[in-house]
Amino acid sequence: MAEYQEYPRWMAHPSFQPAVMSDDPTQRQPIRFAPVMVEDADQQAQYEAKGYVPSGTPNPKAFEPTRASDKPAAYVFEEYPKWVGGVLVNNPEEERAAMPSLMTTLPDSAPAKRKAA
């Protein structure tokens, strides 16, 4: 399962300006102070020195509920209904009845049996 990690994380600059796209070449402008992703505390310190600030507040406790678990606490497996060979069956009898029709639709290319040595 995934564990909380502080890095990588996004940082943004307060003076961020998006790019301006235009058919008029005199109106075009590149992006300025684009958001960056830092991989560790050293990179974060470098970008903080340039005026960038972390996006959001790290919160390990908020991460816990988002983790995928094996099963919900109240989960109970239900075998039926289920699909068998394109037929929806509701009990073992219907499943057995659906199996012969499934066997007739399989290809005849069954693997050859090996002879005992």
The domains of the chain are located at 9-57, 78-106
Tally of CB atoms within 10 A around 87: 14
DSSP calls for 80-92: -SEEETTEEESSH
Give me 40's structure tokens: 């560790």
What are the pLDDT tens digits along the chain (117 aa)? 567 788 899 999 999 999 999 999 999 999 999 999 999 999 999 999 999 999 887 777 776 766 656 677 788 888 999 998 888 999 999 888 888 755 555 555 555 555 655
DSSP calls for 20-57: B--SSGGG-B--BS--EEE-SHHHHHHHHHTT-EESS-
CA dihedral 79, 85, 91, 97 (to 10 degrees): -150
List all residues 6 or more positions away from 86 whose beta carbon is below 8 Å from its beta carbon. Answer: none
